[in-house]
Structure 1
Amino acid sequence: MSDKAHYPPVNPISAGLSGRCPRCGQGKLFSGFLTIAKSCRNCGLSYDFADSGDGPAVFVIMIVGFIIVGLVLAVELAYQPPIWVHLVLWLPLTVILAGGVLRPLKGILIALQYKHNAEEGRLDQ
């Protein structure tokens, strides 16, 4: 991560949303759906620093939960459907939304880690 001067600045939001390398903006960040690649095939940046932890999942829970709960309440108050209608509507929609939002959020958090040179906290003794 020490030779950033050789690469033009990359917007971490656009790099994360597109799943691209946070240093060059060209190589792939992911080798699978949520699996981080070992390194960038374009610039050689090692992704060993990348540890998004539970951050993306927390954001997904908050964003998707807000949307789904709002829709459930609106449908329940307007139509009062039986419970099976709620299950048929909201379970698949929750899975689709969570799956669609998780990868971009993970990419954004990793790109922001790179940009801000984030490291694990340490106690100086």
Structure 2
Amino acid sequence: MNKDEAHFPPVDPIQVGLRGRCPRCGEGALFSGLLGVKPKCGVCGLDNSFADAGDGPAVFVIMIIGFIVVGLALWLEVNYSPALWVHLILWIPLSTVLTLVLLRMAKGILIALQYRNKAAEGQIDRG
């Protein structure tokens, strides 16, 4: 099946993206491992070769986490002036955990939106 000819009820791309589920059926797992996309859905057989989120998820995650962590670090420094080791103990693990969690969710959302909007590489019409 090269084209998507099966009939599936529409799923919300935000919900399936956040849960890491197939953008067509909403049931099968989208990821194999932490961030690797499965070649095809185990439930409906959707070929995930279209899924190319690129650097989009990383950019969103960098901006969101940077805003949160830098804001909290500045607030802590201005109000309490802790030692440098306190900043290291707080912000490095927080940044790591938030990055891993948000990167998976952002990648799932962008792949689900690609499927929903039938996004493809641009082509020039030479007609």
Fold agreement, TM-score > 0.5: yes
- Partner of residue 60, structure 1: 61
User: In structure 1, what is the equivalent of residue 12 of structure 2?
Assistant: 11
Structure 1 segments of 4 or more deviating over 2 A?
Answer: 121-125
Deviation at 1:31, TM superposition (A): 1.0
Match of 1:24 in 2: 25
Deviations 1:85-125 (A, max 9, x none): 11111111100111111101100000000000001123344
Q: Distance in 2 between matches of 1:45 and 1:91?
A: 38
CA distance in structure 1 between the aligned counterparts of 2:62 and 2:119, rounded to whole angstroms: 24
CA distance in 2, matches of 1:120, 1:83: 47
Q: What aligned pairs does 1:11-90 form with structure 2 within 5 A after superposition?
A: 11-90=12-91
Cross-structure match for 2:98: 97
Distance between the aligned counterparts of 1:34 and 1:2, measured in 2? 24
**For the residues of structure 2 that align with 1:3 and 1:46, how far apart are their CA atoms?**
12
How many residue pairs are counted as aligned between the two chains? 124
Q: Which stretches in structure 2 are left out of the alignment for 5+ residues?
A: none
Q: Which runs of 5+ in 1 are unaligned?
A: none
Tell me the distance in 2 between the aligned counterparts of 1:63 and 1:76: 20
User: What is the aligned partner in structure 2 of residue 106 from structure 1?
Assistant: 107
Shift of 1:2: 2.9
What letter matches 2:22 in structure 1? C
- Percent identity reads 59
Tell me which amino acid in the other structure corresponds to 2:39.
K
Q: Deviation of residue 28 (structure 1)?
A: 0.7
1:60-93 Cα deviation digits (max 9, x unpaired): 0011111001100100000111211111111111
**Distance of 1:33 and 1:16 partners within structure 2:** 14
Give distance in 2, aligned partners of 1:37 and 1:2.
17
Give the residue type in structure 2 aligned to 1:121.
Answer: G
TM-score by length of 1: 0.95
Q: State the alpha-carbon separation in 1 of the partners of residues 77 and 125 from structure 2.
A: 54
